[in-house]
Amino acid sequence: GNSVTQMEGPVTLSEEAFLTINCTYTATGYPSLFWYVQYPGEGLQLLLKATKADDKGSNKGFEATYRKETTSFHLEKGSVQVSDSAVYFCALSGGSNYKLTFGKGTLLTVNP
């Protein structure tokens, strides 16, 4: 079946540091890949997505590239802010039911 593996957190960075959160996946066929973000006490917000190999999703300074050869979709941001502190989930959607399979989430804390 489908599965997503994310780097375990928590990740603690200083403001303006570079961020990478690793995500690899196992899936049959050609899934779509997503990063969702969950701020404290809230639901999930779509951060970015990519639907085919070599696509790059980007939003709010975050980027991730769909790498089929390495089955990866790593999240990066060049300069994090305190407001980026949240839990980040990598997810894939595959199959005719479009259900999402999530990684376990990575807690990011950015200190001023």
Partner 1 sequence: EAGVTQSPTHLIKTRGQQATLRCSPISGHTSVYWYQQALGLGLQFLLWYDEGEERNRGNFPPRFSGRQFPNYSSELNVNALELEDSALYLCASRLAGGGETQYFGPGTRLLVL
Q: How far apart are CA 101 and CA 80, in angstroms?
A: 26
Strand partners, 88: 37, 106
Give the footprint of partner 1 on this chain (CB under 8 A). 32, 34, 36, 42-46, 49, 51, 89, 93, 97-105
User: Shortest gap between Cβ of 22 and partner 1 (angstroms)?
Assistant: 17
User: Shortest gap between Cβ of 7 and partner 1 (angstroms)?
Assistant: 14
Q: Which is nearer to partner 1, 101 or 108 (CB)?
A: 101
Q: Which is nearer to partner 1, 26 or 111 (CB)?
A: 26
User: Shortest gap between Cβ of 78 and partner 1 (angstroms)?
Assistant: 25
- Locate 10 and state its tokens: 């928590």
If 0-12 CB within 10 Å is exposed, 13-18 middle and 19+ buried, where does residue 24 land?
middle
Q: Which is nearer to partner 1, 1 or 112 (CB)?
A: 1
Greatest alpha-carbon pair distance for the chain in Å reads 44
